[in-house]
Amino acid sequence: MQRYDTTFIIDGNLPDAERHSLIEKFAGSLKRQGAEIDQIVRWGMRSLAYAMKKRTHGYFVIFYYHANPKMIASFERDLRLNENILRYMTLVFEGKHPDYIRDEGASERTIVADDSAPAGAESEVETEEPAVSLYEPGEIDAEGELVELLPLETELEDEQTQEKEKE
């Protein structure tokens, strides 16, 4: 069995309960076909670079799993036929996921635990909040709260000013 990762984007207008059941449905689909799911990372709500199916926000999910290559076609067919999936991509996984991916669902109920790390070891997935918000001021975040942040340019100027003061 080869190790894969599949990233898919769920429609951002879907309610949380439906989104969670959709993730469980796809996890169940993989398990029924005989795949072993290592980890499910709920990356969270993100603004899309361009509109997909007239949507500007999507909920990103990443599955890390072991499967036979024949299972991938069937799984991708399920993703393609679901109208709530905006995009998906499956790759052969060859290592650790990038550091900028944070598991939004780590504090919530976990669907699948990462069993690859020994007991007492730190998880590969960091659960702390990112230092820079991906939301613009005035947007609604994944929890439905209004985001009121300084623009990114102001934060960078503050850091540069602090560096000059140290010198």
Distance from C-alpha of 125 to C-alpha of 1, rounded to nearest angstrom:
24
Domains in the chain (CATH in brackets) are 2-130 (3.30.70.60), 131-167 (no CATH)
**pLDDT tens-digit readout, 85-132:** 999 999 998 776 565 566 665 544 444 434 343 344 444 444 344 444
**pLDDT tens-digit readout, 18-74:** 999 999 999 999 999 999 998 898 988 999 999 888 899 999 999 999 999 889 999
Classify 166 as helix, strand or coil. helix
pLDDT for the residue numbered 143: 59
Classify 105 as helix, strand or coil. helix
**58 contact partners, CB below 8 Å, separation of at least 6:** 9, 10, 11, 12, 45, 46, 48, 52, 86, 87
pLDDT for the residue numbered 131: 43
pLDDT for the residue numbered 117: 38
**pLDDT tens-digit readout, 98-107:** 655 666 655 4
